[in-house]
Amino acid sequence: MRAFPIPSNINDAEKTMNNTTRIALLGTGKMGLPMARRLCEAGFEVHVWNRTRAKAEPLAAFGAHVHERAHDAVAKAPLVIGMLENGFINEELLFTQGVAQAMQAGALFIDMASIQPRQARDHAQRLQALGLRQLDAPVSGGTVGAEQGTLAILAGGEAADFEAALPVFKPLGRATHVGPTGAGQLTKLANQMIVGITIGAVAEALLLAAKGGADMAKVREAMMGGFADSRILQVHGQRMVERDFAARARIPIQLKDMRNALATAGEIGFEAPITQLFEGLYASAEANGFADLDHSGLFAELARRNGMT
């Protein structure tokens, strides 16, 4: 039996998921913490767990229940959100450590981390065998989007499960159902390919302009509003101008996404030469001491290659 009824429309979903709904959130890092805070502020009963408990403790001030064990956080929650680092950690926690078995029958697991599509499909099958449901719903928008509730939520799975989760997605951002299980992760990979490649294009273009004697800040300003304009030029371009590479999404995370995209491309027989090139550039940035920088810090690796500081 399902832990909560599957709604026939969004209005029914809003009645089903309300501020009395208990939600468990696993993983309160840079993204998970502000997301959990927003769920608390929206009135949900939020139970949180993080491998390092101290990172979850600040949420107690917003009314969250902080648990020592993930098993206890999920035990009575009809909906569980995962914001873990990768698919292998997901698998370890859910299946090896038995957290999935600790969930109540019919619970909906929403994996909002970025993992490989094949992992999402495998996890969904294994959860289904335990009487559980899954949406893969990775997000785009970074820590700013998590804090402001403006994330793009890319959901794959059953349409009815997506509708049931809409009231929970609402405080977090804009959710779109993009297809069956795994489609959310596939969309996130497409998103990260565009982000990672465009960061490189913006960085290389601005460095070329600077090397030639132009004012980098003015070059960026001149291009805004034209065909070269983008959120990457606006946000990451400004970080490049200011040399502000404080980590929001670190270079190793972008590298992981590029490698996941290439792995998926290989599985389906798709050639992705541009992504291959940028995987090498981000790997080089990591190897040359820039691993702690924001992914816009690829600028620093390209500057290094051109003898620019």
Q: Which residues are catalytic?
A: 188
Strands 151-156 and 45-49: unpaired
How many angstroms from the chain centroid is the CA of residue 57?
A: 22
Beta bridge partners of 110: 81, 135
Tell me the CB-side half-sphere exposure of residue 169, using CA atoms within 13 A.
26
Other C-beta atoms closer than 10 Å to the C-beta of 56 total 26
DSSP three-state, residue 176: strand
CA distance 111 to 212: 46
CA distance 10 to 93: 32
CA distance 125 to 94: 13
Residues in contact with 39: Cβ distance below 8 Å, sequence separation at least 6, in sequence order: 23, 25, 46, 168, 171, 172
| Amino acid of residue 81 | I
Other C-beta atoms closer than 10 Å to the C-beta of 259 total 15
DSSP 27: -
Tokens representing 182 are: 């795994």
